[in-house]
Chain A
């Protein structure tokens, strides 16, 4: 039992450490966020959006969403696409 101390110590020193997963990703609040969470995160975590910002413009985000549907086969309802693009453009474009 003695050397348990050595394993406990780092955790005690770094209390910010905790169990983490993609649920810690927080996208900005706004209209369309629900559509992003309902569709995009089926295949990948939402941090892909954060990571790719803010340097795409509306056309760039349109291209990304189109690629997800046409190339990667994401089953996003056609009527949801404009709302997703609108959200990404408003909160994650340059």
Chain B
């Protein structure tokens, strides 16, 4: 049996053979090892490893619209490869954008000098900025909610960390003559619904977030053009905030003087008020009961050892993983190898910036045979940490329960 890692690499080879122009995907019907046990039976059984054109085989959640999750193996490194980066769409009409034809319109009722520009102009007319930032789906780990909630039943991998290059949104807004009256900035992308009555996927962010120097219109991802499935030719980067605001294939940016009323703001992507330790609010969109999801909560992932793995007693075991938060920065990661009785501090890896995954590791020697429960808990620089009990909410967002990996010491 090839290892899972070899398996993935070889699968990638077969994609090259298939060629990237075909819309046919490459897949395996073999059961996928290592899916979280918390997923529903249907979510586990309907998942297959399958490669979209130009991508490695990823965990297929749904074919149309395409929703594909990154297998945990790819999180062994803090930067997620473009070909392994997760894919998430709400609407199924997704054009292959021609870079030469693509135009970005920047305007809206609260802009004095609206304009449009080509990809070349976006690259040349504005100072390029590079930033490493995590794109994390609001519903990452939704499939692990107990009780389950409906939606795309994501496991651990609806996230990816990349080095983005692009123009600052605030520079574009300055050129468009954004007025003081502006309350929000809206984004629309080239993707659309299949039937006309489905609300188009349009999002807004508070004007202060739009003017933040870290909010970008990116045209490069890890030194390459952004892959089609991740938003070619340009997407919005909203560091610290969940992926729902990171509009792919962005075509329209509008400054508006009243809160945007579209379905994807008013009804979708909402969390109950007061349940989560959120600092960065979206006040113009808040109601008495709920608020749009905004910044990510602090969380971590154990990338090694894998659940069920056998390790030798008396031999050094390295526990490795990733930690992240909304950009306050990871302060520390504590690891327990006795099911949460005692904790020790992991060593933090290279700092790629406060919006990036932070890798960590801890070396220890298992002393007794039997099951060993490994837990990891991250804390950020403002003292926020992970929960042991799920904070349940109807749409299944912000799952940051401390992960537990049981391994076998022999």
Give Cα distance in the complex from A51 to B195, angstroms: 23
Q: Which residue of the partner chain, among B10, B47, B48, B197, contacts A14 with CB atoms under 8 Å?
A: B10
Restricting to A62-76, which residues have a CB under 8 Å from any CB of B?
Answer: 64, 71-75
B196 at the interface (CB under 8 A from A): yes
State whether B11 touches A14 (Cβ < 8 A).
yes
- Cβ-closest chain B residue relative to A56: B150
B13 at the interface (CB under 8 A from A): yes
Q: Which residue of the partner chain, among B27, B40, B64, B267, contacts A44 with CB atoms under 8 Å?
A: B64
State whether A71 touches B195 (Cβ < 8 A).
no
For B138-174 the 0/1 string (1 means CB < 8 A from A) is 0000000001101111000000000000000000000
Contacts of B28 in A (CB 8 A): 14, 16-17
Give Cα distance in the complex from A48 to B263, angstroms: 21
Interchain Cβ contacts within 8 Å, total number: 123
Restricting to B356-399, which residues have a CB under 8 Å from any CB of A?
Answer: none
Contacts of A1 in B (CB 8 A): none
Contacts of A24 in B (CB 8 A): 27
B interface, how many residues as a size bin?
A: 35 or more
State whether A7 touches B42 (Cβ < 8 A).
no
For A45-63 the 0/1 string (1 means CB < 8 A from B) is 1011011111110001000
Beyond A42-B194, A55-B42: 19 further Cβ-contacts under 8 Å?
A6-B13, A7-B16, A11-B13, A13-B10, A16-B29, A17-B14, A18-B26, A19-B22, A19-B24, A20-B50, A44-B64, A47-B60, A47-B61, A47-B63, A48-B62, A51-B61, A52-B40, A52-B151, A72-B193
Chain A interfacial positions (CB closer than 8 Å to B):
6-11, 13-14, 16-22, 24-25, 42-45, 47-48, 50-56, 60, 64, 71-75, 92
